[in-house]
Amino acid sequence: MKALLVLLALGLNLYGGISVGDKAPNFKLKTLDGTKSYSLNRLRGKVVLVNLWASWCKGCQKEMPEFVKLQKSYKKGFKLVTINVDDDPKKGEKFLKSVAQKTAQKIPFITLANPTKSIAKAYKCVAMPSSYLIDKNGIIRDIIVGSLNANDMKALKKEINQIK
């Protein structure tokens, strides 16, 4: 199934989708709780992983605890930004509370709300979850369609460390 998603994503990228080497579209969104705003441009100078997810997404549910470990392993130079596309941000908040309980840790990454799904459209997202590895200059270095497991995270960390 994951191979099919990757092939689909590659095929769509040939027809106007966002691709590795493109400048990452900027965004400015509020956190799930609405208390702060973040933009991608504000994070320039750091390697950023943008992850699009939804509370109903089974793959998102599997990978989110791995993202807690990933962000905790970096003190500086890397930032994980997760963007929830649920219609109601409270669903995303509830989901992340369950992840925090499951991992017995506070969520260490930025969590933004995008109920209009404008960012998924801007990034030409073809499936949930999708992740975009962006270098210090704002260039997309990798596009990952589908959920990441512990082994995938090891490979991702190597990639992050190479461009950090």
Q: What is the pLDDT of residue 11?
A: 47
Classified by CATH at the fold level, domain 2-163 comes out as: Glutaredoxin (3.40.30)
User: Residues 139-161: what's their mean pLDDT?
Assistant: 95
User: Residues 74-100: what's their mean pLDDT?
Assistant: 96
Cis peptide before 129 (omega within 30 of 0): yes
Least confident segment among 8-22, 28-42, 68-82, 119-133? 8-22
User: Residues 144-155: what's their mean pLDDT?
Assistant: 94
Q: Place 152 in a pLDDT band, splitting at 50, 70 and 90.
A: very high
Q: Place 16 in a pLDDT band, splitting at 50, 70 and 90.
A: low
d(C-alpha 67, C-alpha 87), whole Å: 22
* Confidence check: pLDDT of 162 > 80: yes
Whether pTM > 0.85 for this model: the answer is yes
14-47 burial by CB neighbour count: b if 16+ within 10 A, else e? eeebbeeebebbebebebbeeeeebebeebeeeb
**Closest to 131 (Cα-Cα) out of 117, 148, 143, 114:** 143
Q: What is the pLDDT of residue 17?
A: 76
Q: What is the pLDDT of residue 3?
A: 47
